[in-house]
Every structure is written in structure tokens, then in C-alpha cells.
């Protein structure tokens, strides 16, 4: 049996040979494994109890005497089970997810584990009740290939995320990991940039700037000291793409960081990770430590003469630090506030040195592009928006989770094919993209392809990848207020257009949703928005009015209804809603009376009830409790 490859053995002298040896060793060890049990260990599934499921498998397997291992090493028994945790497997709404030899079990609890072991491992059958039930066919789906949520996706970045053990560098290497770095060292910085140019990858952090152009600009700057920075300070409400990639495949991002550093001529790279992502930071740090032990980081990598160091710095979660110069200020120990450009970071960045900043998803794409070629990557997507895009799909969607699509896919395919349609079967009213800086895609634009250009044309942006489905129960004025409130709270206050303009817009929206809207409020919102877009210092202020402007563009009638009639059609704005009981429909069941927290519903059993409007707090509990359409909202 070959000797175990120790991660303490440096490989810098003969990188290619040693990587090949690690791959061969891992594959030999893996061939001994009988079956694999992969439990989702992403933050989302952990919050739903997947750690308890993992511990239950360990305890139950030990109790039943089944041979199993937690690492792939030469000491694994023949035909033993391999039990491990993965990153996000995507189908978050069905978590915790457990893959047992290809069978994907959903909503697994610790108490389900004995049945899984007995039925699947001993009898070779599946536990039918734990398989996903396709609501369209009313049939159970045994694996990902059978589940509609996965079928329409183009999973490139997510192809390994959720499959491999993110804390085992040997498995990443066995699947070709760090081969892209070897190739990059062979073709050199110019070759890397040329391949990235062919691939056409645009920044996935929101701006959509060509990655190769940013790298080339930084490389051309004079001076020896340069920095490569990974922006992992994900701040959009409901967005968790970057976190999931760091937790599920940290080595892909680390490899992308090293290749990027080579391309721009940097000697040091920095992960800027928000402190609220402890699991992501832990996995990245472990990955960095493993790379140093293997000689993939440090001096003279693969005996190439190229040396590179990586470290983690923590961000305090300021949304404004998504802007490059604000992020740099934070790294330097100052308050995260943007500065005027030029000079751009590629000219004068961290500590005044040329610096390139890319987000997690952008960097995770790099090894795939270098390994398979820019031409391969540009085969996905459209001519101007090539590649794939990862989205966090949330809101009023039956299937929520982490998805990856080929750019150019129509909105309706994402909503109905991947998402399964609106949650309660209601009509889709809008889809919000781009987070607080984005806008809405109206229900009438469902045929629109998702590209950088199409989103810009309708007043939205790609952003980092939020995709929120809204139905007829969502008030678009309230939605605009929510996002603007977030942006006002996150504004650094440095420039007046953002600091004052955003606050003034928010006060107008609050008046409108409180029933105090006035004639001319819409025009005031538009003027303030234009001023912010033209005069704000950074992207936060320039794009903060987007949700207001896009909802005005497609749902102006809702604003007018709030202002002119003091009425919210959806009932979301509490001060514009009232509830009354239609006596002809009321059967006197008392459900509304029992649900009312203000005790303002009166009436005898089996007799029509009534609501005391002077006591009503307009919470809507009576409306939700009634099964006979007897409570009317107006």
C-alpha cells in the first residue's frame, strides 16, 4: 500500500509530480470506499439541525458495527462508508439534505437516521417518505437528476459545492484542484489575462466590469508591491451566494486568488470576510493553512519563482464597504468611507499601492476558466453577458435556495421551472434583483432574459445575485421603503446627496405608507432620486433610488392609490387598512374572536360577529383566521 501523503510534506520543488501523487493516492483510497453519505453542512442546513443529523449518523453507525471513516486515508477499511459534511447542496427549502449513495433525502431529522441506515445501507432500498415529492407529477424523486429544481440549472461553480468535503484539500486536488494554478504558472500572467479576456468574465459583485481589464490595468502599474483583495463582505439582504461558495468550496476561491495575484503581479492577497460569517472564515483559514503546508502558498510556488501569501481580515458588515475604496479604507484601519475616483484602486489602492478587488464568485470562476479555457466559458450565456450566474432565490417561491443559471435564461423559466412558481399559487407580481441597489422586474416582463444589459434597460441591476419573487400580496411602495430604509441606514454620510437625499426620500415614503401622502410627492421622489444618481460619491448613493424608481416605473398606480385614496390595495400598509365582518358570510364560529389580540371582536357563538373599529390595531389576525371569507380587508 502506498504511503499516506502528509499535508506537512512541502511540494514546492516538484509541484506537478506531487499533485499527481496526491490525486493517485486519494483515488486509490477512495476506490476502497463502499458508499458515501454526504450531509449538508452549510450554515443554512446547520441552522435546521444538520449537525445533529451528522452526529446521529456517527453514533448509529458505531452502534451497529458498520465500518465507516471520516477521512479518506490509507487506513480506511475495505468497503467502508465515508461520512462527511459538504457545503450548500442548493435546495435550501428542503434542508437538512442528506445524500446517501445517490439518494437525496430531504428535511432529514436525527430520528430518521436509524431508518436510513437499515433501509438504504442494509436493505439497499430508499426511504420513500424522505425523498422529494414532485408536486406536478405526485412522484418521489430519488436523486438530483429527477428534481425539477436542478434540471434547468447550469451548475459550474456549484458542480462541486455540495458534493465534495470542503475541508479536505486532498479531495479538491483529486478532482483536478490547483491544476489551473499549474497551468497559469506555465502560460504566465499575460497568458492568464488573455484567457480571461476570451472567457469574458464580468465582475459578479454587482458592477459587471470585465475582470481581465481590471487585472491588466493593475498589472501595468509601475512599482513592485501590489495587492489582490477578495471582497467577501456580502451585505445584500437575503443574499448568501458568497458565503455558500466559501463554505462549500473554499479551495476554488483560494486557487482563484492565487491565479489573480499571479496575473496582476501581487505578492500578497487578502480575504476581506464579514465577521458574521464565522464558518466561512474558518474553512477558508483551514484551506490557507493546508496550502502553506503543501507549498501551494509561500515562497517559490511549484519551483516557479512566484511567491504569494494569503491572509484573512474581518469586516464589520458595513454595506458601504462593498464599494472598493471604502473597503480599502476599512482594511487600512479607517472608517469605511469611499473616496473620489480617479485614482482607481488599480492605480492607488491599499496603502497607496496598485490593488485589484474581486468578489468571491468572480474568483471562484477563475480556476474553471483557466483549466477549461476561455472559449469554453464563453459558450455559456450571451455574447455580452457570458458565463453562468449564481443567485440566492428567496421570497414567494415554492422552491427557494442557491441556484446557478446560464445568463440569458428568461425570468419565467427561473421562477416557474426552477422555483416551481409562486408559493401559494398567486400571480407573480414582480421579481426583485440586485438587492437594495436593484430594481423590480414586473410580472409583464417574465419573458425577459437575465443579462447585465436587459436588467439595466428596465432600471435594475444584476447585483451580487439576490433574486426575490413577489406576488400580489406584496405592496411595491412598502418594498421600495424597505430597501431605501436599508440604504439610508447603511450610508456612511460622507456626501450630502446620499446622506440628505436618501433621508428625504425615505420620509416621503413613510408619509405615503402612513396615509399622509400629498399631491406632488411622486415628483419630489423623482427629483431627489435624479439628484442622488448624478451627484452621490459612490455606488451606494447612486443606486439607492433604484427600487423607488423601478417601482414607480411599473407600479405608479399603487403610489397614486396610497396618495389619492389613502388605501393600500395589498393591505401591507397597516395604517391604510381596515377590517370588517361581512355578516351574511359570518357563521359565528368565533375563530376571528379567538385570534384577535386586542379583543375588539364581539359576538355570540353561531351568530354574526362585529369588529370595534376604535379598538382595532389592524394586525390582520382575524382576516387570517377566517375560513369563510367573512372578514373583508379594505
310-367 pLDDT, tens digit each: 999 999 889 999 899 999 999 999 999 999 999 999 999 999 999 999 999 999 999 9
200 C-beta neighbours (distance < 10 Å), count: 22
139 C-beta neighbours (distance < 10 Å), count: 12
Helices (H), ranges, 143-178: 148-151, 169-174
C-alpha cell at 417: 421551472
Is the confidence at residue 181, as pLDDT, over 70? yes
Q: Return the pLDDT at 207.
A: 81
- Peptide bond just before 96 cis, omega within 30 deg: yes
Q: Return the pLDDT at 465.
A: 86
| Residue-wise pLDDT tens digits, 242-269 | 999 999 999 999 999 999 999 999 999 9
Q: Which of 172, 165, 167, 87 shows the shortest CA–CA distance to 367?
A: 172
- Peptide bond just before 558 cis, omega within 30 deg: no
C-alpha cell at 101: 449513495
Q: Return the pLDDT at 496.
A: 95
Q: At what angle do helices 241-248 and 250-264 cross, to 10 degrees?
A: 100
- Cβ atoms of residues 570 and 578 within 8 Å: no
Q: How many angstroms separate the CA atoms of 402 and 467, rounded?
A: 10
Is the confidence at residue 6, as pLDDT, over 90? no
Torsions phi, psi for 465 (to 5 deg)? 135, 25
Confidence of residue 17 (pLDDT cuts 50, 70, 90): low
Is the confidence at residue 173, as pLDDT, over 60? yes
Q: Return the pLDDT at 9.
A: 41
237 C-beta neighbours (distance < 10 Å), count: 13
| Residue-wise pLDDT tens digits, 396-414 | 999 999 999 999 999 999 9
Is the confidence at residue 55, as pLDDT, over 80? yes
Average pLDDT, stretch 196-210? Answer: 93
Angle at the Cα of 297 (from 295 to 301), degrees rounded to 5?
Answer: 65
- For the chain, give the mean pLDDT: 92
Is the confidence at residue 12, as pLDDT, over 80? no
Q: Return the pLDDT at 617.
A: 87
Q: Return the pLDDT at 223.
A: 78
Confidence of residue 420 (pLDDT cuts 50, 70, 90): very high
Is the confidence at residue 10, as pLDDT, over 50? no
Q: Return the pLDDT at 15.
A: 62
For 93-125, b/e burial (b = at least 16 CB within 10 A) is bbbbbbbbeebbbbbbebebbeebbebbbeeee
Q: How many angstroms separate the CA atoms of 9 and 5, rounded?
A: 8
Confidence of residue 561 (pLDDT cuts 50, 70, 90): very high
Length of the chain: 634
Q: Return the pLDDT at 571.
A: 84
Q: Indicate the pairing of strand 68-69 with strand 81-86.
A: parallel
Q: Return the pLDDT at 14.
A: 55
**pLDDT cut 90: percent of the chain above it:** 81
Is the confidence at residue 13, as pLDDT, over 60? no
Q: Return the pLDDT at 2.
A: 31
Q: Return the pLDDT at 314.
A: 96
Q: How many angstroms separate the CA atoms of 487 and 538, rounded?
A: 12
Q: Return the pLDDT at 485.
A: 96
Q: How many angstroms separate the CA atoms of 554 and 285, rounded?
A: 46
Is the confidence at residue 231, as pLDDT, over 60? yes
- Helix (H) or strand (E) segment spanning residue 391: strand 388-395
- Cβ atoms of residues 586 and 580 within 8 Å: no
Q: Return the pLDDT at 107.
A: 97
Non-local CB neighbours of 424 within 8 Å, separated by 6+ positions: 396, 471
**pLDDT cut 70: percent of the chain above it:** 97
Confidence of residue 225 (pLDDT cuts 50, 70, 90): very high
**For 104-130, what is the HEC assignment?**
EECCCCHHHHHHHHHHHHHCCCCCHHH
Q: Which domains does the chain have, with CATH numbers?
A: 32-146 (3.40.30.10), 172-378 (3.40.50.11540), 388-471 (3.10.20.600), 476-564 (1.20.1440.230), 578-633 (3.30.70.20)
Cα–Cα distances in angstroms (integers) from residue 183 to residues 189, 302, 552, 629, in the given order: 11, 11, 50, 67
Q: Return the pLDDT at 16.
A: 61
Helix (H, G, I), strand (E, B) or coil at 97: coil
Cα–Cα distances in angstroms (integers) from residue 269 to residues 225, 266, 305, 310, 483, in the given order: 11, 7, 17, 5, 33
Helix (H, G, I), strand (E, B) or coil at 431: strand
- Helix (H) or strand (E) segment spanning residue 631: strand 631-633
| Residue-wise pLDDT tens digits, 477-511 | 999 999 999 999 999 999 999 999 999 999 999 99
Angle at the Cα of 595 (from 590 to 597), degrees rounded to 5?
Answer: 130
Amino acid at each position: 500500500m502506498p504511503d499516506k501523503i502528509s499535508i506537512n510534506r512541502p511540494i514546492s520543488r516538484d509541484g506537478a509530480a506531487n499533485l499527481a501523487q496526491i490525486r493517485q493516492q486519494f483515488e486509490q483510497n477512495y476506490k476502497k470506499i463502499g458508499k458515501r453519505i454526504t450531509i449538508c453542512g452549510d450554515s443554512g442546513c446547520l441552522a435546521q439541525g444538520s449537525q445533529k443529523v451528522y452526529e446521529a449518523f456517527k453514533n448509529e453507525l458505531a452502534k451497529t458495527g458498520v465500518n465507516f471513516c471520516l477521512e479518506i486515508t490509507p487506513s480506511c477499511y475495505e468497503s467502508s462508508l465515508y461520512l462527511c459534511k459538504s457545503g450548500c447542496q442548493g435546495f435550501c427549502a428542503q434542508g437538512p439534505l442528506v445524500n446517501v449513495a445517490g439518494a437525496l433525502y430531504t428535511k432529514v431529522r436525527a430520528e430518521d437516521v436509524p431508518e436510513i441506515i437499515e433501509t438504504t445501507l442494509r436493505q439497499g432500498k430508499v426511504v420513500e417518505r424522505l425523498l422529494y415529492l414532485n408536486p406536478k407529477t405526485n412522484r418521489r424523486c430519488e436523486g438530483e437528476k429527477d428534481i425539477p429544481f436542478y434540471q434547468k440549472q447550469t451548475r459550474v461553480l456549484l458542480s462541486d459545492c455540495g458534493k465534495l468535503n470542503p475541508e479536505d484539500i486532498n479531495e479538491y486536488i483529486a478532482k483536478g484542484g490547483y491544476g489551473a494554478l499549474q497551468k497559469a504558472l506555465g502560460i504566465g500572467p499575460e497568458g492568464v489575462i488573455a484567457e480571461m479576456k476570451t472567457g469574458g468574465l464580468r465582475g459578479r459583485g454587482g458592477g459587471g466590469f470585465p475582470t481581465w481589464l481590471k487585472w491588466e490595468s493593475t498589472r501595468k502599474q509601475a512599482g513592485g508591491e501590489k495587492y489582490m483583495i477578495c471582497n467577501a463582505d456580502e451585505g445584500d439582504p437575503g443574499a448568501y451566494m458568497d458565503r455558500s461558495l466559501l463554505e462549500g468550496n473554499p479551495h476554488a476561491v483560494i486557487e482563484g486568488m492565487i491565479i489573480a495575484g499571479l496575473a496582476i503581479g501581487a505578492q500578497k492577497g487578502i480575504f476581506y470576510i464579514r465577521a458574521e460569517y464565522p464558518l466561512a472564515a474558518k474553512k477558508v483559514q483551514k484551506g490557507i493553512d493546508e496550502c502553506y503546508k503543501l507549498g501551494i502558498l509561500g515562497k517559490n510556488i511549484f519551483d516557479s519563482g512566484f511567491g504569494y501569501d494569503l491572509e484573512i481580515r474581518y469586516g464589520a458588515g458595513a454595506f458601504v464597504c462593498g464599494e472598493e475604496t471604502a473597503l480599502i479604507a476599512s482594511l487600512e484601519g479607517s472608517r469605511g468611507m469611499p473616496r473620489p475616483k480617479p485614482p482607481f484602486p488599480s492605480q492607488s489602492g491599499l496603502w497607496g499601492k496598485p490593488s485589484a478587488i474581486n468578489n468571491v464568485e468572480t474568483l471562484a470562476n477563475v480556476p474553471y476558466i483557466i483549466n477549461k479555457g476561455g472559449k469554453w466559458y464563453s459558450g455559456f450565456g450571451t455574447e455580452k453577458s457570458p458565463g453562468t450566474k449564481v443567485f440566492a432565490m428567496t421570497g414567494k417561491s415554492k422552491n427557494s435556495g442557491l441556484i446557478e443559471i446560464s445568463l440569458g435564461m428568461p425570468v419565467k423559466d427561473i421562477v416557474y421551472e426552477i422555483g416551481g412558481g409562486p408559493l401559494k399559487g398567486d400571480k407573480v407580481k414582480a421579481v426583485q434583483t440586485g438587492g437594495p441597489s436593484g430594481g423590480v422586474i414586473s410580472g409583464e416582463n417574465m419573458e425577459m432574459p437575465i443579462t447585465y444589459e436587459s436588467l439595466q434597460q428596465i432600471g435594475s441591476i444584476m447585483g451580487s445575485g439576490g433574486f426575490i419573487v413577489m406576488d400580489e400580496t406584496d405592496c411595491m411602495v412598502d418594498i421600495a421603503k424597505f430597501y431605501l430604509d436599508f440604504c439610508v441606514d447603511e450610508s456612511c454620510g460622507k456626501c450630502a446627496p446620499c446622506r440628505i437625499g436618501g433621508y428625504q426620500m425615505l420620509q416621503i415614503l413613510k408619509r405615503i405608507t402612513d396615509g399622509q401622502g400629498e399631491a406632488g410627492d411622486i415628483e419630489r421622489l423623482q427629483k431627489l432620486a435624479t439628484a442622488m444618481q448624478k451627484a452621490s460619491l459612490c455606488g451606494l448613493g447612486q443606486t439607492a433610488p433604484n427600487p423607488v424608481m423601478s417601482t414607480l416605473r411599473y407600479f405608479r398606480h399603487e403610489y397614486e392609490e396610497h396618495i389619492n385614496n389613502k388605501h393600500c390595495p395589498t393591505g401591507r400598509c397597516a395604517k391604510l387598512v381596515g377590517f370588517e365582518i361581512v355578516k351574511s358570510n359570518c357563521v359565528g364560529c368565533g375563530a376571528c374572536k379567538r385570534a384577535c389580540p386586542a379583543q375588539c371582536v364581539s359576538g355570540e357563538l353561531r351568530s354574526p360577529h362585529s369588529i370595534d373599529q376604535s379598538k382595532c390595531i389592524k394586525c390582520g389576525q382575524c382576516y387570517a383566521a377566517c375560513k369563510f371569507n367573512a372578514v373583508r380587508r379594505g
